[in-house]
Chain A
Amino acid sequence: MKTTSSILLALSAAAFAQNTIYGPTGLNFVPSAFASEGGRWSGSLGGTTDDDPLWVSSLQGRFLEDRLEIGLSSTAWLVEGDSMGWKPRTTEVPLVPSARWILDRENRGIQSWGYAVGVSMPLGAWAAAGWRIRLPVVSPELHAGFGTPLNSIQGFGGVAVDLCDLEGNPLPLRLTLDGAISGSTGTLGSTEEAYWSAGVSTRLGRNLTFQTIHRRDRSYAAPDKGRRPGGTSFLRILWNFGSATNNEVQR
């Protein structure tokens, strides 16, 4: 029992560094308004669990007191429509760029507020606000935002819950739920990322995190691969390294 507690405490000391499948730090698929709490450099590798796996990978780095995050991802869209139907758009190696700027972060006691803007796929240019509260048993955080790649407008949001020991220290288990809705402003080549997803993350060590995600997309009237009526499941390994930078963005 004592050994188990020691392991949990050791893992609690390492914060989650969770990047989305699309690249920026966030929940499962949607970016958050807070900077990552892990080391300066991070990456991920994973894939879908179906018979024809779709591989996803990403690399990120944080600079300027964590205000700026620059990343590369292999996933631009998981659902994009063109004259051939709905399909994912990925690259073999991380080539899809993303950037995020933490505009503001305010810490007021056990609460934190954040506001960030960024550019990433499939959201395009986006803005998001977030709120977090540290409680003894669970520490929830909420995020909401919207973005546009010009041919559509997407609203997104989600919640993450860190399970804690009774003193508010996060345990190595995080539950995430997020979603997005897209409204098209164009007719051809438009993104239709409208989904919800649920994920569970657990730290495997100081620098490694394992994550499983299940995603359900809106049912489209197009019988092809992008439709995935039964949903898609992902398994990912995320890692972070480098010296932990100043996570509290100064006012």
Chain B
Amino acid sequence: MNPSKLLPVVAIARLALAGDGSDPRRAFDAVPGTAHPAIAANLAWLDMGLASARLSAHPGAQGVVSAPHFQVGYGWRVDEIRDAFRADSVVERLDRRELRLATAMALSQLGMDAFGRDRFDAALGFAFVREKAESKETELEAGRQGVDVSIATRMGAWRGAAALCGAIEVSGDSGSTRDEKVELRLGRIADDGFSWGGGLDIPVSDDGHAGLRLGMSREFRDAIGFQGQLSTSYSRQKDPQTGADELVRNSLELHLGTRIRFRPWGSDEGDTWMRRIVDPRIGSAPDGFLLRGWEIGVSATWDLVGGEARPAVELSRRF
């Protein structure tokens, strides 16, 4: 391979695997606002299926289907890569695609629930991830296939998880680099529908990205949700002018979203006006409202440094 072509390939591969800071789904599994588990091990505790389609002004699109023990997702988006030392300069546009297949199993499901499932449980998960990135400027491509390994625990209202991303590399284009990192999550789900959590991303390699996330979510009447998340990521980069290694902030983002889930209104919940929103009786269909079982969500992510906003809309169906 011509060395002059190798360098851009290396750059693309590294950038492609490091750019997850703006994906709100890579948040907490402890926060119910992210309905689809981002860490595979949490799939073990799903009790129903959820299929979602999401369109973002990033631009990007994502489709995810999660069911107990299994998840399949496919996403596409365009990332603008900026010079870390000049926030207003876009140096690269990457067309990224990701296929993700995940599975998980919990100890309690194997009969090992000595403490009682509600008091303590642990799960092990695997996610096969196939990533591909293409530069819009140079049309060069880089890709990799790998397996993420994760564990998750639950102890009463507390949730914890750890994932080693890029634990096993199945294949990778020559010149591409692995972006190994450890994701740590800790959160709590309260009985009143409020949940909160925090997360750390710890890079395994010197040039990886470190990240910090804080988030909350509140569910009203098991139908209307509101969520917020603040995230930032840092990496060690060489200053082009001084040549010194510096810890540079790559992103600082705020994510806010809300959604409504149309569900059957229980007879013990009273005939309040909220029923007319959550479970409107329209027409003479035997199951009532046509949208029963569907979720509609809107959200936006703000780049707090650049001032850019990226709205998104999501449609989901429970099954």
Contacts and interface: CB of A to CB of B under 8 A. Distances in A.
Interface of A: 103-104, 106, 108, 111, 113, 115, 127, 129, 131, 144-146, 148, 152-155, 157, 181-185, 194, 218, 250-251
Given A153-B309, A251-B272, 14 more contacts: A103-B220, A103-B277, A104-B220, A111-B192, A131-B218, A144-B226, A144-B228, A152-B309, A153-B302, A155-B300, A155-B309, A181-B304, A182-B309, A183-B307
B158 interface: no
B303 interface: yes
A197 B167 CA distance: 46
Interface in B39-79: 57
Contacts of A182: 307, 309
B-side interface mostly = strand
Nearest to A152: B309
Instruction: Give the interface centre of A111, A146, A181, A185 by most chain B CB atoms within 10 Å.
Output: A146
Given A106-B192, A115-B226, A146-B256, A181 B220 contact: no
A183 B218 contact: no
Given A106-B220, A113-B220, A185-B57, A127 B258 contact: yes
A174 to B, nearest CB: 23
Nearest to A113: B218
Nearest to B218: A129
Interface string B288-319: 00000000000010111001111100000000
Given A106-B220, A115-B224, A153-B311, A181 B270 contact: no
A115 B220 contact: yes
B221 interface: yes
A104 B218 CA distance: 12
A244 to B, nearest CB: 22
B7 to A, nearest CB: 34
B309 A251 contact: no
Interface residues of B, number: 25
A146 B302 CA distance: 11
A127 B228 CA distance: 12
A194 B254 CA distance: 14
A124 to B, nearest CB: 12
B194 interface: yes
Nearest to A105: B220
A111 B220 CA distance: 14
A81 B228 CA distance: 28
B140 interface: no
Given A129-B226, A251-B270, A183 B220 contact: no
B274 A104 contact: yes
A154 B304 CA distance: 12
8 contacts: A104-B220, A111-B192, A115-B220, A127-B226, A129-B218, A131-B218, A182-B309, A184-B307
A27 B234 CA distance: 34
Nearest to A127: B258
Contacts of A111: 192
A183 B302 contact: yes
A113 B192 contact: yes
Given A106-B192, A127-B226, A183 B270 contact: no
Between A103, A131, A148, A153, the greatest number of chain B beta carbons within 10 A of the residue's beta carbon is seen for: A153
A66 to B, nearest CB: 13
A131 B190 CA distance: 14
A27 B19 CA distance: 36
Complex A-B, nearest 4 residue pairs according to Cβ-Cβ distance, in ascending order: A183-B309, A129-B226, A153-B309, A146-B256
A153 B300 contact: yes
Contacts of B311: 148, 153, 185
